[in-house]
Amino acid sequence: MSSVVEALMKLSMSTLSTIIKFSSLIFYFASYSHSVRHCAKLFISLHIWCIYGHTLKDTRLSENSSAKTISTSWWASWVDLYVLRVATSISVKMASFDSPSELTFEFISELVTASLGTVNGEDTDGRTYNSVKDMWDFELMVDNNKKDVTDGSQISDTKWYQDGLQYWDDSSKCSISDDGVLQGYGKLTPIDTRDSNIFLDALKECRPELKLEVAADCGAGIGRVTKNFLINRFERVHLVEVSPRLLASAPEYIGAKYKDRIECIVQGLQEFTPKSNTYDVIWTQWVIGQLHDLHFVRFLRRCAEGLRPGGVIVLKDNCSTTCTFLVDKDDSSVCRHIEYIRILVRLAGLNIVLERRQKGFPEELYPVVMMALSKD
């Protein structure tokens, strides 16, 4: 190995610089492979040797050369090293996507910050947050008053989901009606249905292999999406919903004539695991905000396994354009920035095959985006 170092030290600065840039390029390509971590270690070591060697060489040269030339080459190599270090850290992190167990709020938080630059989030109690991690640390704390406690043992998502269920299962907060599940905006159903149909048509056009046999309606509520849209486009629909009260009303709300074509599953999406190779479309509307980031990513990964060939997961949801996220303390949900959503999708290993904006909703509402996701 020392002969390699010696050989490197004999090289001219421009040759070494070329090697550094060339290896950075290889490194970027390598980041798509599973052996990326080994590549990372190798390249980091290589670059540290190069820079170290050249620092020594420059010191020796300084006796004979002009100071300007030396300092330029010295800085050039450090800039190269810095660029490589950034590339290395990003690529190593990207490589850890492969392992679900390594996904953390901290990691997601770093990605969101890196992607958006400045993070500005808030909750409906007026609290503000500078990072995604700070927000989840607080929201998932067993006792929210203990803001200073950073011990991981204080973190639990039980209360987050209990609060969500309590809200939706309470008839004084959510009646059995379109107005109930849409928090006063039941009148949007026709226009919502129109754009969902347009989206599915566009999807079918760009993905002829997509079949329209079995759909899942995730976060189904009373079955509003199934009744107005899915049951008219698919042969069978499985409704997945956490509130027993809302789901119990679905068969009657959807209509007795459809009773043999629907199946009701009372379960939180944080637990829902579709049987493999089951669904053509997993339609997930106005519910992803109920899941915290780790559950959201794992839910998408499990859904991907539940798709039939050509199948897609569709997310139809609010997205924030002004802030990175907004937490609604009433129903324990978070409205995320579109880039934040895209990061979670990428973390689940999925591609966005079609993305459209819902048109014609009132200005005062969040923009609503429809995204079709697939494994291929």
Residues engaged in binding ligand SAM (CB under 6 A): 161, 164, 168, 181, 219-221, 224-225, 241-243, 246, 268-270, 285-287, 290
Say how many C-beta atoms besides its own lie within 10 A of residue 11's C-beta. 16
Smallest distance from ligand SAM to CB 264, Å: 12
Q: Which is nearer to ligand SAM, 135 or 335 (CB)?
A: 335
Smallest distance from ligand SAM to CB 220, Å: 6
How many whole angstroms separate alpha carbon 127 and alpha carbon 51? 46
Q: Which is nearer to ligand SAM, 36 or 220 (CB)?
A: 220
| DSSP letter (8 states) at residue 307 | E
Smallest distance from ligand SAM to CB 360, Å: 16
Smallest distance from ligand SAM to CB 228, Å: 9
DSSP string across 127-144? -EESSHHHHHHHHTBSST
Q: Which is nearer to ligand SAM, 210 or 225 (CB)?
A: 225
Q: Which is nearer to ligand SAM, 235 or 271 (CB)?
A: 271
Task: Provide the Cα torsion 110, 112, 114, 116; round to 10°.
Answer: -150
How many whole angstroms separate alpha carbon 73 and alpha carbon 65? 12
Smallest distance from ligand SAM to CB 232, Å: 15
Residue 276, H or E segment: none
**Tokens coding 289:** 């905000």
Smallest distance from ligand SAM to CB 206, Å: 24
Per the CB < 8 A criterion, the answer to whether 338 and 369 are in contact is yes
Smallest distance from ligand SAM to CB 342, Å: 21
Q: Which is nearer to ligand SAM, 91 or 290 (CB)?
A: 290
**Tokens coding 191:** 């226009």
Smallest distance from ligand SAM to CB 291, Å: 6
Q: Which is nearer to ligand SAM, 93 or 329 (CB)?
A: 329
Amino acid at 140: L
Smallest distance from ligand SAM to CB 105, Å: 18
Say how many C-beta atoms besides its own lie within 10 A of residue 106's C-beta. 13
Q: Which is nearer to ligand SAM, 37 or 302 (CB)?
A: 302
Q: Which is nearer to ligand SAM, 90 or 165 (CB)?
A: 165
Q: Which is nearer to ligand SAM, 23 or 189 (CB)?
A: 189
Per the CB < 8 A criterion, the answer to whether 289 and 335 are in contact is yes
How many whole angstroms separate alpha carbon 94 and alpha carbon 77? 25
Could you tell me which of 339, 332, 335, 334 has the C-alpha nearest to residue 319?
335
Q: What number of CA atoms fall less than 13 Å from residue 81's CA on the CB side?
A: 18
How many whole angstroms separate alpha carbon 121 and alpha carbon 222? 31
Say how many C-beta atoms besides its own lie within 10 A of residue 305's C-beta. 13
How many whole angstroms separate alpha carbon 218 and alpha carbon 239? 6
How many whole angstroms separate alpha carbon 135 and alpha carbon 212? 39
